[in-house]
Structure 1
Amino acid sequence: MSQARLYRQLTSDVGEGFTEEAAQYAIENVNADWNANALVKARNYQERQAMSVDRIYRQLTSEHSEGFTPEQAQYAIDNL
């Protein structure tokens, strides 16, 4: 899960419903490896859906999908 997606999950009324402040605190203190998370997602897209590298990158960086940063997505692509 990306940082952006985690934030949305934590603050969503249909998700966890935390305040923005609480969600931001959680994100700053979770000690997640966002690059590794992006790589796991990229491998799943490659292996399970046979997506092209370009499509994986777009999926990873889409705010409506995974929400990884361009740098995190590029790390994932470079390490597939």
Structure 2
Amino acid sequence: MLAVVYVLRLEDLARDVHAHTIAGAIAQALGVQQVAGDLADWDVVKARFDTELAAPPAGEAPQDDSARGIKLRALGVTA
């Protein structure tokens, strides 16, 4: 179940990155000045997602400190 939730969330992120990339390309084609961070990078987005998913929840003393336990709580599968 955890793998399914993880993949579904990654698909959501991939769609967001794709939309952001298309919007940035259209803006660039229209001559809009680009600033740092305007173009999304999938590898950076996925790395940040994985890092935040593995981090313990803020303000909680987790009972299960394993990477799997942290991920399950972050995805809302366990309490």
Q: Output the TM-score relative to the length of structure 2.
A: 0.32
Q: Which has the higher helix share?
A: 1
Q: Output the TM-score relative to the length of structure 1.
A: 0.32
